[in-house]
Amino acid sequence: MTAEIIDITTDREKALERACAVLANGFPVAIPTETVYGLAADATNPAAITRIYETKGRPRFNPLICHMADLAMAERYAVFDPVSRKLAETFWPGPLTLILPLRSESGIHSLATAGLDTVGIRLPRGFAADLIRAYGKPLAAPSANTSGGVSPTSARHVADDLGDKLKLVIDGGAAPVGVESTILRVEGGAIRLLRPGGVAAAEIETATGLTVIRPEGPAAIIEAPGMLASHYAPGASVRLNADHVEPGEVLIRLGAVPVKGIEQAAAIFDLSPSGDLAEAAANLFDYLKRADATGATRIAVTPIPGHGLGEAINDRLARAAAPRK
Ligand code: TXA
Ligand code: MG
């Protein structure tokens, strides 16, 4: 099988029609979202969800985010507390996922939630939202990449990785945010950060007046099991906080920071010449893939500030650099 690729800039209506048909037949479709490309399937259809896990090689204990068209649709599947509703009203549609109690007999299949009594919900922007509206049911969608690998931010990334396993890839251009959604869970009125992402913690604190509670260590985020192991891993190994380049390394840097031995770098990628963290996030996965494609065995990365989207960038880099199985 080789995936059909439809570009929404020229064939948006056809893309919606074809995607709805493939979804209705119980197959996943790779779709653009503002964060990363998703591998979307009907969240109420167990055969379709099984195909997501198979296509990615993803462990089935790792639940999927269910994507909704609007808040009214989300309320049919999950129960909102006041803080979660405020977050939804402020940041949706956008790169925020809320973990919420699942309504009983909601119709979302337990394969999508990995049997949990909660569900991760997000309202995406753009084509993805239009598709959910046209299809009429929530779409379960993880990132459209082989489990453990770097997430795709273009249709080309998806086609290179999974093209021979998919029927349809929708091309919506480069994903503007570039890192996955921020995942939050509200409990007892307190906001816990399960995964940093496209909405910075400071924005959440400003919107709610509440402090975002970060997990104390990796063990604390067991609720998001996909986040524990080595993840986002390119083929090359990754060396963080580099202040120098070793022979044969590719360099990923942020702006014109001084780097010793830079002339030895096999290639240099600058996440944002002006040091802008939103631009850096948008380029991160593409540059990791490009650095990998040079064939270098190691990627050295200069320090990234921790504020704003830097928290999500550092989270993904730490997982890319984590010891592999
Ligand atoms: O931006 C994104 O969030 C992208 C786009 C496609 O929407 N999706 C994405 O999905 O990053 P995925 O599967 O790569 O990451 C979803 C994370 C996993 O770590 C999973 O464990 C967690 O969300 N998750 C899903 N449902 C959960 C639940 N009920 N409780 C706790 N964690 C949950
Ligand atoms: Mg993923």
pTM recorded for the entire structure: 0.94
Pocket test for ligand 1, best of 97, 98, 108, 177 (most atoms within 8 A of CB): 97
Distance 124 CA to ligand 1 centre (A): 13
pLDDT at 325: 66
Q: Indicate whether residue 183 lines ligand 1 (CB < 6 A).
A: yes
Q: Which ligand is nearest to the CA of 126?
A: 1
SS3 sequence of the chain: CCCEEEEHHHHHHHHHHHHHHHHHCCCCEEECCCCCCEEEEECCCHHHHHHHHHHHCCCCCCCCEEECCCHHHHHHHECCCHHHHHHHHHHCCCCEEEEEEECCCCCCCHHHHCCCCEEEEECCCCHHHHHHHHHCCCEECCECCCCCCCCCCCHHHHHHHHHHHCCEEEECCCCCCCCCCEEEEEECCEEEEEECCCCCHHHHHHHHCCCEECCCCHHHHCCCHHHCCCCCCCCCEEECCCCECCCCCEEEECCCCCCECHHHCCCEEECCCCCCHHHHHHHHHHHHHHHHHCCCCEEEECCCCCCCCHHHHHHHHHHHHCCCC
Please choose from 39, 60, 143, 145 the residue to mutate so as to test ligand 1's pocket, defined by most ligand atoms within 8 A of CB: 143
Predicted pLDDT of residue 221: 42
Q: Is the CB of 224 under 6 A from ligand 1?
A: yes
* Predicted local distance difference test score (pLDDT) of residue 232: 80
> Which residue out of 36, 60, 65, 193 has the highest number of ligand 1 atoms within 8 Å of its CB and is therefore the one to mutate?
65
Is the C-beta atom of 226 inside 6 A of ligand 1? yes
115 lines ligand 1 (CB under 6 A): no
- Nearest ligand to the C-alpha of residue 121? 1
Atom of ligand 1 nearest to the CA of 124: 7
CA–centroid distance, residue 224 to ligand 2 (Å): 11
Q: Is the CB of 36 under 6 A from ligand 1?
A: yes
Predicted confidence at residue 256, as pLDDT, reads: 87
Query: Measured in angstroms, how far is the CA atom of residue 145 from the centroid of ligand 2?
Result: 7
User: In the chain, which residues have pLDDT < 70?
Assistant: 217-229, 325
Query: Rounded to the nearest whole angstrom, what is the distance from the C-alpha of residue 192 to the centroid of ligand 1?
Result: 15
